[in-house]
Structure 1
């Protein structure tokens, strides 16, 4: 008889939380009882799950001893407030908000570094990394072992959904105002987002780097097991609702064998390689899909040891909810 597990989803009313609930049903996750939780103002709503309408309850006062596994898909502050309580109750935690330090909750992408689980003990605290880091790690880990990366440069064009449902509504509102000839009033963003590109996604520190840029670099180093890898990353906000797109340039130790690279990318289960006469886009390809798309694979203009790539992925589904569910699938198969 297949074992089933009582599960909690914190932040169930957000876009990632709703995607989690959908994927738990799609992938036939062995759920016995599903507890949907959110902050006070979101409690009381209902979500569909396996033909039933489940009511979302207030997180405050929830007994984590009643579940074996909890997905934290709310803010990092919520994770920091409740993860220790969940762990003390013997509940495994999968954090999607990077609310815990890597030493306490290692970053995990099942296609990249599943071996980190073997070094942990119950109750398991794990983090599903940021969406850009998941997409980058999935691609870079699939490259041939003979390709040794010396330096990595990334420009990440992030969808507004990376900042939550409120940002999606803001882009829609700005777009409607401009198309109808009305004066634009930015609210969530500090300037016009519609039909525009913003050079940073959040406030930069004194050195000019955003916290997310530092986070992605750190996550990549941990996921790939290369703590000294030089990473240069710029995150920009793109006027796209869903789907991140990234340009990647890496410097290798020696000349790139493009045929070998393409064969490796084409054979990776989590990737979809688009051939040279075409290229993938977020809207046309990645959104709603469970793979990372790779295209425009080419050597450098003047340097045969340089490899350039274009990557696009659904930041909510593949880059958040699916990775978290896959982590949970590893846990229940081997550790819970």
Structure 2
């Protein structure tokens, strides 16, 4: 029987932090004492866990020597300020912010075996939600395809930017439906009933930090450091649930029957019937799998494989993947 371990969640009052608390309880994770931490502004509030109200405390004054595992679900700056301190105090870290370049990115279905090589305490990263979805769907295909290039169009829900972005989309939608003047606040322009062709600022080459992060994460998760990857991230007027259009270029013809069989058998993948396709609202939200549909060749190329993926970005794409990594970590600790 697994012994309970004491855990901290940094960013416990945010969307991902609250989902982490929920999933730890749903999965009956072996939690000893759960410490909920946040910024000074959020400290003092309460979050329900296992039938009890737990008070949220300030992260600045917390002694990480009290816990063996900490989830960091706040922003990158918080992770950079406290994660290494936590590790030096003997606490392993699972970061969800993308702020720790030195942390090993893990998706258990894709590269979970790499954890066994890491000394404890360890810095780990749960990747971006789109990278999790891609890794879950593509890892089962590595042995079937001689992948040369991957092209990705990631359609990201506004919840990927936090609760304030969700509120902004709701407010904009209400204003437009009631014929009131629209004043963008969180986003720099209209988000409701619109698409934003860039998520975050761009560098001199025109790429955003999120796009570069996704490229790096996918190479690590698939164990293909030289893989050619092109990514465009688009903000879409959806509250929850990311969707990804992906095209893989293989050096040889793709066997669609073998691809479908591999996806059908893959862990955490739900393959949709050929005459159907998955959507965030109708399928993915609230679920713990990556839905895959529209499996097909390129129009003129049997060497190309096209897929459509959708998943709950807060659950499978963030909190659930982090908890699954934590499960592997507990085995590693034993």
Q: Same fold, TM exceeding 0.5?
A: yes
In the alignment, structure 1 residue 83 sits paired with structure 2 residue 92: no
| Cα deviation digits, residues 211-242 of structure 1 (max 9, x gap) | 10011001000111111111111000000000
| Cα deviation digits, residues 26-73 of structure 1 (max 9, x gap) | 111111100000001111111111111111111111010101100000
CA distance in 1, matches of 2:268, 2:11: 26
SS in 1 for 2:230: strand
Residue 50 of structure 1 corresponds to: 50
Moved over 3 A (4+): none
Return the offset for 1:304: 0.6
Residue 229 of structure 2 corresponds to: 231
CA distance in 2, matches of 1:146, 1:90: 41
What does 1:242-281 correspond to in 2, within 5 Å? 242-281=240-279
Residue 196 of structure 1 corresponds to: 194
Listed as ranges, the gaps of 5+ residues in structure 1 are none
Residue 325 of structure 2 corresponds to: 327
CA distance in 1, matches of 2:320, 2:261: 25
CA distance in 1, matches of 2:100, 2:44: 28
Name the TM-score, length of structure 2 as normaliser. 0.99
CA distance in 2, matches of 1:228, 1:2: 39
In the alignment, structure 1 residue 155 sits paired with structure 2 residue 156: no
Listed as ranges, the gaps of 5+ residues in structure 2 are none
| Cα deviation digits, residues 162-195 of structure 1 (max 9, x gap) | 1111000000000000001100000111100000
Q: Is the 8 A contact 2:144 2:258 kept in 1?
A: no
CA distance in 1, matches of 2:121, 2:103: 11
Q: Is the 8 A contact 2:144 2:259 kept in 1?
A: no
Name the TM-score, length of structure 1 as normaliser. 0.98
SS in 1 for 2:273: coil
For this pair of structures, how many residues does the alignment match? 334
Return the offset for 1:143: 1.2
What does 1:1-336 correspond to in 2, within 5 Å? 2-101=2-101, 104-143=102-141, 145-336=143-334
CA distance in 2, matches of 1:164, 1:239: 14
The root-mean-square deviation of aligned C-alpha atoms, in Å, is 0.9
CA distance in 2, matches of 1:210, 1:241: 21
Return the offset for 1:127: 0.4
| Cα deviation digits, residues 293-334 of structure 1 (max 9, x gap) | 000000110001100000001111110000100111001123
SS in 1 for 2:105: coil
Q: Is the 8 A contact 2:297 2:305 kept in 1?
A: yes
Return the offset for 1:144: 5.4
SS in 1 for 2:218: helix
